[in-house]
Amino acid sequence: MSLSVILMLLFTAVTGDDTASLTVRHGHDVTLPCGNVIKDQQKCDSTSWLFSRDSGSTAVELVTLGNINKNEKAKAKRLNVAEDCSLVIKSVTREDVGRYTCRQFRSGEQVSEARVLLNVINNTSDDAFRFYCSVFRYGDCAHTVQWYYKGDETDISQHQQLICTATVSFKSLHVVQKSNFNELLFCKVTDNKSGQTLLCNAFSKSSCEKTGTSGSTSAGGKEKTEDETLKKPGWIRFIIVSVGLAVLIIIFVTISVWVRTKENKTQTDHNAVS
């Protein structure tokens, strides 16, 4: 039993946190999945949803056994529980950023929970020439944010990447007044945890387009050709888990052989004394 407990702890350390991560544009709807739903529920009467704005805040219960908490007036009207017990949030704002926890209950006792981090993309401009794209998130930044300009890169006077924010400035008002300018500027956001990459038009309020993660696009429109397949979080986790499991198997076999050898030696010594 001791060996089993040790192996379980080691396995948890290897596989890491299983918290999901979703990124959505400001003003759009999002559906947060509950990854551990109990089957045969009646209107999700075994499901509760909790929300934490940051690691230091107290969790607030948004949904209690399938019923939306009306006391949370700021959110209640924008919340809905789907048939599969996912949590639907309409017209997402910066205030919705945080950690959502889906808990499952059976006979009044909690039996499991699943967590989802919700991140929100927002782009703004403080003058006619400078544009910002930011990802508001729970905890440390786990995103790569870049501006992608499809026009002539000589139009750009400066671009900069900060923590979860990218800025781009253009040389003159003439550039931004081009008839097709609103079709040229995009913000590219990559969620380094989930591997999801979104391309968001700076001016359109439509949903961001999902793209591949094989390259990195700069504000100047240059595409890196380096193959980043093995850099995807999914591949990294797969490699780490595979290596970790191999190490655990070796440890288990080694300990088992050692225990068996010790038992045989003890038995031999006992027989010799007898």
pLDDT tops 70 at residue 226: no
Please give the average per-residue pLDDT across 165-176, as a whole number.
92
Q: Give the neighbor-by-neighbor strand order of the sheet with 87-89.
A: 30-32, 87-89, 79-81
Amino acid letter, residue 245: L
pLDDT tops 60 at residue 146: yes
Do residue 175 and residue 132 come from a single domain?
A: yes
Residue 203 lies in a domain: yes
- Residue 242's pLDDT is 59
pLDDT in tens, 79-116: 999 999 999 999 999 999 999 999 999 988 999 999 99
- Residue 128's pLDDT is 78
Residue 93 lies in a domain: yes
Q: What torsion do the CA atoms of 52, 54, 57, 60 make, to the nearest 10 degrees?
A: -10
Under a CB-based contact definition with an 8 Å cutoff, are residues 149 and 170 in contact? Answer: no
Q: Which residues is 108 bridged to in the sheet?
A: none
Residue 261 lies in a domain: no
* Angle 101-58-68 from CA coordinates, rounded to 5°: 50
* Angle 230-232-238 from CA coordinates, rounded to 5°: 75
pLDDT in tens, 173-207: 889 988 899 999 999 999 887 788 999 999 988 88
Residue 242 lies in a domain: no
Do residue 132 and residue 96 come from a single domain?
A: no
pLDDT in tens, 2-24: 443 333 334 333 334 578 999 99
pLDDT in tens, 125-135: 887 789 999 99
CATH number, position 63: 2.60.40.10
Residue 212 lies in a domain: yes
Q: Which of 63, 86, 118 is a domain's end point?
A: 118
What whole-number distance in Å separates Cα of residue 261 and Cα of residue 258?
5
Please give the average per-residue pLDDT across 235-244, as a whole number.
52
- Residue 234's pLDDT is 41
Q: How far is CA 95 from the centre of its chain?
A: 17
- Residue 95's pLDDT is 94
% pLDDT > 90, the chain: 49
% pLDDT > 70, the chain: 75
Q: Which of 83, 118, 153 is a domain's end point?
A: 118
Question: Exposed, middle or buried, 35 (CB in 10 Å: 0-12/13-18/19+)?
Answer: middle
Instruction: Round the average pLDDT of the chain to a whole number and report it.
Output: 80
- Residue 24's pLDDT is 93
- Residue 118's pLDDT is 95
Do residue 67 and residue 93 come from a single domain?
A: yes
Q: Which residues is 189 bridged to in the sheet?
A: 145, 198
Q: What DSSP line would sit under 214-225, residue for residue?
A: S--B-TT--B--
- Residue 16's pLDDT is 44
pLDDT top residue among 146 and 215: 146
Q: Which of 118, 150, 174 is a domain's end point?
A: 118
Q: Which domain holds residue 28?
A: 20-118
Collapse the DSSP code of 54 into the 3-class scheme (helix H, G, I; strand E, B; otherwise coil) and give the result.
coil
The number of distinct structural domains making up the chain is: 2
Residue 114 lies in a domain: yes
What pTM did the predictor assign? 0.71
- Residue 74's pLDDT is 77
Packing angle, helices 2-15 and 233-273, rounded to 10: 160
Residues contacting residue 97 through CB under 8 Å, at least 6 positions apart: 53, 118, 119, 120, 136, 137, 138
**SS3 helix, strand, coil % of the chain, rounded to 5?**
25, 35, 35
- Residue 241's pLDDT is 52
pLDDT top residue among 176 and 238: 176
Do residue 46 and residue 140 come from a single domain?
A: no
Residue 134 lies in a domain: yes
Residue 1 lies in a domain: no
pLDDT in tens, 22-56: 999 999 999 999 988 998 899 999 999 999 998 88
